[in-house]
Structure 1
Amino acid sequence: MIRISTIFIAICMVLVAASLGLILYSVAGISGVESAIVALTALTFLILYNAVSMRLRDRTDVGGQIADLSRGTADLARQVAEFGRRLSAVEGKLASINHAGADRIQAVVGEINELGGLVKQLAVSVAGHEDILSANAAVAAPVARPESPPPSEPSVATEPPKLVVAPPPITVAAPEVPAPLRNEVQTLAAVKTAIEENRLDIYLQPMVTLPQRKVRFYEAVTRIRDEHDRVLAADDFLPFVEAAGLMGRVDHTMMLRCVQVLRRLMVRNKEVGIFCNMAAATLGSPATFAPCLDFLEANRALAPSFVIEFKQATFRNLGPTESEHLAALAQRGYRFSIDHVTDLRIEPRELADRGVRFIKVPAALLLDPKASSSSDIHPSDLSDLLGRFGIDLIAERIEGERAVVDLLDFDVRFGQGFLFAPPRPLRPEGSPAADGAGKAPESNGGVKAPAADAPAIEPSLRATGNAALARRAAGPN
């Protein structure tokens, strides 16, 4: 479609040519034919000039467009090259990931094969043990049978020997069996009576920092007094308590007294804490755990200073119920400790995720050279490994100064044992003082002795520490 500007230019050229012809005809006196020829010639030149100028202008425009197109093509080529480079980088990363995944899969397959080999070895060893046991049983059977013929050899008759052989086992077995049974029944009855009459005592043993030996925590230990005021240690009565199903009641009573002691301790020192033991039976029973959880919920303000302690076997045998109860305690801000450690096969990440912040390891186990060969880590590196996950290592059952020096090389921060102080009894207000507290002063008339409550423990610890320092100064015995 012809543009309006082109039509306007054409009209102007015709008018210019016609005007030129009229001027030549009227002014110059040229004839009409000659003026018409001149006008046509002028019109032709104008048309040619316009066509050439338009062609040059179009060529310039086309050159500019071609230059723009070439620049766009170059930009597109650069973008394509950049996309190609990025695509190659992504392909390289995918190849490396696939290679790493293949290596991991091969490693997992190798571990599975090793586990399969171990399982086969275990099956072979179990089968060998079963064969040995069956062989021992087969050997024991003929050994037990020839014992019956000797009494039959002296007598020829068949019936008298049977009458002679039968009575001896009855007379020998009768006095042996009832004696331990009678003792167990008596101990069980005494333990039940002591729990019902609330003759549960709490003993406190300090945990000190190393090497400063400053008291940082106390561990609460349970003791029971019988009707004759004889003290029974935990190892003596706990089996009977668990058999009688009274473990939850004992743990609840201990938590109550530990909270009372902790409140009295925090009056003097806000940084002190207390360790309270909880049995696996209490943790695994919803009926016995519910009152303990309610009590701890009511005292959750003391959670940063109240540490609940479990055995290593309890953590290794956690079921769904125990894990749920443990999570409920951790949700309320309580921290956990592990004691009764028998080996150093410890997974610190898993324990830290469950809320464990302390692990108590016997000093003899840490210093035993055989322990490093049977564990995944050397005992000297155990404290650093646990520290990376926020777990403090406590060396317990320390009984000599040489053990303290060796443990300092292992970077152990806390210690517990008879070297620092033994478990000391805690008496309520108005009760007779604990052993070692001294008699009542004469100014009191000997009527009332001072109560050995929790805040009065630290002076006795300082006295024990001074005695230990005196022994060190005196040299070895």
Structure 2
Amino acid sequence: MIRISTIFIAICMVLVAASLGLVLHAVAGFSGTESAIVALTALTFLILYNAVSMRLRDRSDVGGQIADLSRGTADLARQVAEFGRRLAAVEGRLVSANSASSDRIQAVVGEISELGVLVKQLAVSVASHEDLLASGAAAAASAPARPDPEPQHEPAVAAEQAAPAARPTPAAAAKPAPVEAASPSRNQPQLLAAVKNAVEESRLDIYLQPMVTLPQRKVRFYEAVTRLRDDRDQILAADDFIPTAEAGGLIGKIDHMVMLRCVQVLRRLMVRNKDVGVFCNVSAATLGNPANFAQCLDFLEANRALAPSFVLEFKQAAFRHLRPTEIENLAALSQRGYRFSIDHVTDLRIEPRDLADRGVRFIKVPAALLLDPKQSSTSDIHPSDLSDLLGRFGIDLIAEKIEGERAVVDLLDYDVRFGQGFLFAPPRPLRPEGASATGGATANKDSANPNGSSNTVPMAGPAAEPPMRATGNAALARRAAGPG
């Protein structure tokens, strides 16, 4: 459609050319033909000038339009790239979600299959118990008047066989007796002398107690418990001699000896299972003593390859009152890859972020403290939410001092992943020569103790798992059946 401005320009050009012809004819004396020729020439010139100017103006407008089009194309390309990035992110999330879902499904399938095995074991255990009870009742009915000790002994044997994992081993049950009788008879100087002689003569024993996963009850870690033997072979528990050793300046030597034994035991354990770990108790006094800490740090630096499986354990009270020097030494251990654990927990006022920053990866809380109803009002968090809170900062909760099946069932509701206590296995003694890596020492130890009461942990761990699973079948069955 012709624009009005173009029509107006054409009219103006015709008027200018006609006016020029009239002026030449009237003023200059040109003839009509000459004036008309001049007017046509002027009109042609004006038309050409207008066409050229319009072409130039259109070309400049086309250049601006091309620039605008290029800018729009660039914006469109950026938007397409953004949409592509978002689409790739959504696809990645879908893939990760599918992978996580498949992992959860596989885990659930594994749990279901394991529960099926446990139910079968429960049925076999119940059948064997019923057979034992029926045989005991038949024996008692066959000889009611004869004062024979066998009918009384047979139910006792059945009861012992019904709960093999809850009863401590003969070595573990017999050795603590002299400790309770001998400790009160010593005063402080005598106890210090006994501890000093035991350290100098290397009469230091390592007892190992397993930590198991819940509810599978597979051995995952071992805690090294220290015992000292005096010159009369009476055993001193850690709670009896550690305060005296710290006061006498002997705790550094004890910690170094314990670390050496624990590393030797860990190397033997990792030959059979690469996923096993050992918890080694360390006193805060060792961190504060420059000479003792330098000796321990050199030893741990030499065994840095075992750092992921070697956990150093401290008391909660000592960890809360660390001095600047001890904090720096703790950071030096953390930089070398060693992880820490907190035990002897007396309250649930825990700051997981601060503990995680210092390298703490495990917290051991007594089962009685977790299940205490009063803790929900005295602590900042309900005990049932403690495991989830610690897990957000990479800290695992371990329930210790578990002594009954009912506690296990309640702790499963609290999402506790690890457990430790006499219910699973008592601390088992490890002879000093058993800590060496030589095969001859192991053979001598096994031949000297055929009943297995002082077996090393690599032999005691797998042998203790079937009774522990059988003991936990009743709790799993009760939990599946529900209350009442």
Is TM (by shorter chain) over 0.5? Answer: yes
Partner of 2:136: none
The equivalent of 1:454 in structure 2 is 457
Tell me whether 1:283 sits opposite 2:287 in the alignment.
yes
Matched, 1:398 2:387: no
Q: Which residue of 2 aligns with 1:92?
A: none
Alpha-carbon distance in structure 2 between the residues aligned to 1:411 and 1:184: 44
Deviations 1:247-283 (A, max 9, x none): 1111110000001111111222222111001111112
The reply to whether residue 53 of structure 1 matches residue 47 of structure 2 is yes
User: Which whole-Å CA distance do the structure 2 matches of 1:243 and 1:370 have between them?
Assistant: 36
Distance 1:290 1:380 in 2: 41
Q: CA RMSD in A?
A: 4.0
Secondary structure of 2:374's aligned partner: helix
Correspondence for 1:343 among 312, 333, 347: 347
Deviations 1:2-28 (A, max 9, x none): xxxxxxxxxxxxxxxxxxxxxxxxxxx
d(CA) in 2 for partners of 1:390, 1:415 = 18
Query: What's the CA shift for 1:181?
Result: 13
Using the alignment, how far apart are the partners of 2:453 and 2:244 within structure 1?
34
Flag the 1:381–1:439 CA change in 2: closer, same or farther, 3 A.
same
Partner of 1:422: 426
Equivalent pair of 1:428/1:453 in contact (CA under 8 Å): no
Paired with 1:229 and 1:441, the residues of 2 have a C-alpha distance of: 21
Rounded to whole Å, the distance in 1 between the matches of 2:434 and 2:48 is 122
CA distance in 1, matches of 2:48, 2:196: 121
Q: Structure 1 residues 455, 51: CA separation in 2 closer, same or farther (over 3 Å shift)?
A: closer
Deviation at 1:459, TM superposition (A): 5.5
| 8 Å Cα contact 2:424/2:468 also seen in 1 | yes
How big is each residue's C-alpha offset from its partner over 1:430-472, in whole Å with a ceiling of 9 and x where there is no partner?
8999xx9896569xxxxxx997333232256348638956998
How far is 1:194 from its partner?
A: 1.1
Are the counterparts in 2 of residues 428 and 451 from structure 1 also a CA contact under 8 Å?
no
Secondary structure at 2:426 match in 1: coil
Shift of 1:239: 0.9
**Retained in 1: the 8 A contact 2:429–2:454?**
no
Q: 5+ residue gaps in structure 1?
A: 1-32, 80-179, 443-448
Aligned to 2:96: none
SS in 1 for 2:187: helix
1:317 aligns with 2:330: no
Q: Which amino acid aligns with 1:457?
A: A
State the alpha-carbon separation in 2 of the partners of residues 331 and 268 from structure 1. 28
Amino acid paired to 1:465: M
Q: Which amino acid aligns with 2:360?
A: V
User: How does 1:101-120 map onto structure 2 within 5 Å?
Assistant: none
Rate the CA distance shift 1:463–1:362 in 2: closer, same or farther, 3 A: same
Q: Which of structures 1 and 2 has the bigger CA Rg?
A: 1
Deviation, 1:62, is 9.0
Gaps of 5+ in 2: 1-27, 73-183, 436-440, 479-484
Is the 1:264–1:454 contact (alpha carbons within 8 Å) kept by the matching residues of 2? no
| Paired AA for residue 458 in structure 2 | P
* C-alpha contact (below 8 Å) 1:429/1:451 kept by paired residues: no
Report how far residue 380 of structure 1 moved. Answer: 0.9
Q: Aligned to 1:308, what secondary structure does the other structure show?
A: strand
Corresponding letter in the other structure for 1:45 = A
Q: RCO (CA 8 Å, sep 6+): is it higher in 1 or 2?
A: 2
User: What is the correspondence of 1:320-469 to structure 2 with a 5 Å cutoff?
Assistant: 320-429=324-433, 452-458=455-461, 461-462=464-465, 465=468, 468=471
Supply the AA of the counterpart residue of 1:251.
D
Query: Normalized against structure 2, the TM-score is what?
Result: 0.59
TM-score (norm 1): 0.60
